[in-house]
Amino acid sequence: MEFPKLIHGMWRLNDWNFSDNQLLGFVEELLDLGIDTIDNADIYGGYTCEAMFGNILKMKPSLRHKIKLITKCGIKLNIDKYPERSIKTYDYSYDHILTSVENSLRYLNTDFIDLLLLHRPSPMMNAEEVAKAFSKLTEEGKVLNFGVSNFNPLQYQLLNSVVDKKLINNQVEISPFHLEHFDNGNLEFFQKEKIIPTSWSPLAGGRIFNPQTEREIEIKNTMVEVGEELGTDKLDQVALAWLFAHPSGIIPILGSGNINRIKSAVASIELKINLEQWFKIYNASRGEELP
C-alpha cells in the first residue's frame, strides 16, 4: 500500500453538514490535490461517519478504485444504539473483529478495505485470536493490509510476531504540542522496522491556533518565529513542515472539511525546515534546551 504525503480523516464528517453531493465534490477535490487516502473508523460520529461516506461510493462506484480506505475497529462505545453496554470497552475477539469489518464493508458500500487498524491497545488483547481474525479477512479478500493505532513498540511487536501478514502502519498522535512518541521509543522503532507512521491530530486539535497554557503559547510564538523565517504566516504549514522534516516519514492526517485549509496543508509539503528551526520548536515543546 502506497500512502500520499497527506491523508484525510473523516472523524468530524457529521459536523460539516455536507450533503451527499457536497461530500462527493469535496472528495473529488481531495483527489485533484493528490490526497487519495481516506481515514475512518467504525465509531466515528457515533457509528455514522462510515455510512455517510459510503453514500457517495453508492452514488459514484467508480470513485472506489481511485481512493484507498482506512478504517478501525475495537472500541465499543456505550451509546443509545447499544443499551446493553454499560461502559466503553475494547474488544479484539475474533467474532468482534469479523463483525466490525462486515459492518464497515456494508456501511462504506465496498467489498474490501485497504487498511484495517486496531483502534487502541487493550490490556485484554489476545494476539493469537487477532491473528486468526486477520488471516480469515485476508483469505476472504475483505482486508488488504493491517496495522494498529496508538500502540507502543512492545505492543506492536507482540501482534506482529504472530500475524501471517506483517503490520504496515501505526497511527499515533504526533504534533508540536504532543511529544509522547519521541519519548516512548516509537519514532526510532518506526525507522528500525520500516513502519509507516501516520499522525492523528497533527495540529493538536486546532490548539496551535488557540493555545491554552503558557507552554502552548510559547510553542505558538516559536512557530510564528520559524514561520517568518520560512516566509509563511500560516501556523498549520509550520506544524506540518515540522512533521515532514522528521526522518521517520510521518504522514499527517488532516481533519478539516474546509478545502482552503486542505490546500494550505498541501502547500506545506514544499516548506523545508532546517535543523535549527526544527529544534527551536522541539525545545519550546519540551520547555527546555537540549542537555
Respond yes or no: is residue 47 known to be catalytic. Answer: no
Mean pLDDT taken over the chain: 97
pTM for this entry: 0.96
Is pLDDT at 80 greater than 90 in this prediction? no
Q: How confident is the model at residue 83 (pLDDT cuts 50, 70, 90)?
A: confident
b/e string for 15-32 if b means 16 or more Cβ within 10 A? Answer: eeebeeeebbebbeebee
State the average pLDDT over residues 168-197: 96
Cell of 207: 490548539
Per-residue pLDDT reduced to its tens digit, 123-152: 999 999 999 999 999 999 999 999 999 999
**CA 277 – CA 250 distance, rounded (Å):** 18
Q: How confident is the model at residue 81 (pLDDT cuts 50, 70, 90)?
A: confident
Which residue among 44, 92, 107, 156 is the active-site one?
A: 44
Per-residue pLDDT reduced to its tens digit, 239-265: 999 999 999 999 999 999 999 999 999
CATH C-level class of 7-173: alpha beta
**CA 248 – CA 109 distance, rounded (Å):** 34
- Strands 143-149 and 37-39: what pairing? unpaired
Is pLDDT at 40 greater than 90 in this prediction? yes
Per-residue pLDDT reduced to its tens digit, 44-65: 999 999 999 999 999 999 999 9
